[in-house]
Structure formats: C-alpha cells, structure tokens
Amino acid sequence: MDASSKNTAFAGSGASRTGLEVRLAARPEGRLPVPGDFEITEVAVPGPAPGQVVVRNLFMSLDPGMLMLIAGESGLPMPPYEVGEVMYGDAIGEVVASADPSLGEGDVVMHRLGWREYAVAQAGRFHRVDRDAYPTLSAYLGFGLVAYVGLTVAAELRPGDTVFVSSAAGATGGMAGQIARLKGAARVIGSAGSPAKVDYLTGRLGFDAAFDYHDGPVADRLREAAPEGIDVYFDNVGGEQLRAAIEVMNPHGRIAVCGVLGRQSTAGPGDGPGDLLAVLGKRLTIRGFTVGDHLDRAAEFGAQFRTWLREGAIVYDETVIDGLADAPQALLDLVNGAYVGKTVVRLGS
C-alpha cells in the first residue's frame, strides 16, 4: 500500500475519529497550578500528510519537572508550555497510519508528544522500539537512564562510595539508589516524605538507611545515617537537603544535580546551596546534567537494565493512572508526594 492509499484508508475509516488533548489554560503566577489551569479538549484526528504518521498513544509519562514548564521558568533545556497550546512530554504509542516508509502501521514508537491521545507529526519525531523488550511498554518511560547517567557520568560513582539520594521513593530516586548499589556503592541512604516511604526504601528497594526529611534538621538525620560522611549526593530536591549534603560530604565528594523538587513544589525560587566555603574547602564537584546530553549511554543502560530485571536484581514499580482526563490532577498529586515509583497515564487498552 503506498502512502496516498494509506492516508485515504485512514481518512475513510477514521473521518470521525477524535481524541482528547490537554492544553495549558492559564499560567499560575506565584502559586502551584490547580485543575482549572488545564483544559481538556476533544479534537478531530486527521490522516497523515506525506512524511507523517498517526500514533495512538498508549502510555504517557508524568514528571515533576513539568511544573517548571507550566510556570514558564527560564533557563531550562526545553521550552516552557505555552498558554492555549497542547502540553508535551514523553509517551509511547502505536502507529495506526503512516505516510512515510520509515514507519509502518503497528510499529511501537517513543516520542515527546504526550498529553494527547493521538499524535500526528513528521515520522522523524518518532523512534521505533522493540515491543517485547520489557514486561510492559510503559517501562520505556521510566527514569532509569536519568539515574544511570547522573551516577556514572555526573557523579562519577566509584565502588565503595557512600551515596545519598533525596526524594528517593520517586521514579528517579528509587532507580538511583538501586543502581548505586548494583554499581558497587558501599552504603546507600535515601530521604523521603513519610514513614511509609522510608519503610519502602529500606524494605522493598533495599536501601541501607533512610529517613523522613520532616523529622528534624536534615543534616542531623543524614549524619546519623552516614556517620563517616557521604561521597556522592544524587540531588532531586535542592534547598535544605542540598545544604545538608554539602555539610556532611567528605572531601572530593561529587554532587549530581538532577532536579529541584523543593522549588517546584513551593512555586518559588527556593533557596540555594548556602555558604559555598565548604564546597571550596572540601574541593567538591557540583554538576548539573540532562539525560538528553548523554543519549549515547541509552543502549548501554538498556542492556544492563534488562539484565537486572531478568535476574530480579532491581525493582521497577509503577503507579498507573487510567485516562487522560485524570492526568492533570495526577500530576498535582505526584508533586505532592502521593505516589511511589514511576507514574504513568494509560491512554489505551
């Protein structure tokens, strides 16, 4: 079937096909978003123009960093969401119509056109993946590669290191702690926001120690968990936890800055690392990173991750939200600490 006949077939059988999409209705100013800041709209799904494909999204990722895109933060490595426009994010779906020879109907693809049930775009914006590589297609949306890059590249993890991970019960932190252990860390410590999450870290995920960051000064809790200091801090939060890590860190320690959840959850600039004299005196390294700069590590990580899963060496937990209509509230719940593991939205059966 040539491209034109595929396009006609899709249009003929799916002329009335519609799908939901989520748009940013208003940009919150100096506050966290509320459900009214999002607009859920039903739109017609066109057939593919030459060079395009139509993808029925199956799962999309929810990421705390989306709050910064909603707020219109400057200085990010990706553009903010625009008011009145469809939001975006990682998603995985199935090609249902193609007008480009590089992708065929039935191919499973990853892309950045989440927050909609159907994605229609040039074929080059989609990356074909192996349908059978993982137990569920949603596993492609996990943050394991982020954790792997942060530890091995930004933090230069070494066997024998003591590693501290903040927001450790979340999608990235949970992976970071487990990968650190599998890569030879001598001790892995995590912080979380509730006693249940602390138990989750030391029980299901196998952290050596964990604490609730609400239980007094973080530096005190961290010293109790790491009396000989820490060598690596995987930072998902910033603020007080970053300052505590600097205070407890050993000379020549390394900090990988992955996220600023403390800033995101308070809708303000937050507070920085504090007095940098300790950074100077201890000769610490603080390095920010984005996974997009290290996609050359994806194949290496994918092979290792599949082995760990197959051997039962790593736990991959998901929270699955059903339906795009519930996605905005789920994002707000995620930032407020409602879930553990990776949070995804299931868009298709």
Say how far apart CA 313 and CA 135 lie, in whole Å: 15
Residue 3 token pair: 């491209």
**Would you say 84 and 126 are in contact if contact means Cβ atoms under 8 Å apart?**
no
Say how far apart CA 147 and CA 150 lie, in whole Å: 5
**239-248 helix and 218-225 helix, angle to the nearest 10 degrees:** 40
Does pLDDT of 5 surpass 80?
A: no
Of residues 154, 153, 210, the one with CA closest to residue 178: 210
Which is higher by pLDDT, 276 or 46? 46
**Would you say 52 and 122 are in contact if contact means Cβ atoms under 8 Å apart?**
yes
Does pLDDT of 56 surpass 60?
A: yes
Does pLDDT of 19 surpass 70?
A: yes
Arithmetic mean of pLDDT, 177-193: 98
**Would you say 147 and 188 are in contact if contact means Cβ atoms under 8 Å apart?**
no
Say how far apart CA 107 and CA 226 lie, in whole Å: 48
Arithmetic mean of pLDDT, 69-87: 88
List the domains of the chain with CATH numbers.
3-141+317-346 (3.90.180.10), 144-292 (3.40.50.720)
Q: In the prediction, which pLDDT does 263 show?
A: 54
Q: State the distance between the two ends of the chain, measured CA to CA, in whole angstroms.
A: 27
Q: In the prediction, which pLDDT does 272 show?
A: 66
Q: How many CB atoms lie under 10 A from the CB of residue 106?
A: 10
Residue 336 token pair: 């407020």
Which is higher by pLDDT, 265 or 17? 17
pTM (predicted TM-score): 0.88
Q: In the prediction, which pLDDT does 15 show?
A: 52
Arithmetic mean of pLDDT, 211-229: 97
Phi/psi for 231 (5° steps) reads -110, -30
- Please say whether the dihedral angle defined by the alpha carbons of residues 93, 98, 100 and 103, taken in this order, is positive or negative: positive
Does pLDDT of 308 surpass 90?
A: yes
**Would you say 249 and 282 are in contact if contact means Cβ atoms under 8 Å apart?**
yes
- Please say whether the dihedral angle defined by the alpha carbons of residues 72, 169, 138 and 44, taken in this order, is positive or negative: negative
Q: In the prediction, which pLDDT does 10 show?
A: 54
Does pLDDT of 284 surpass 90?
A: yes
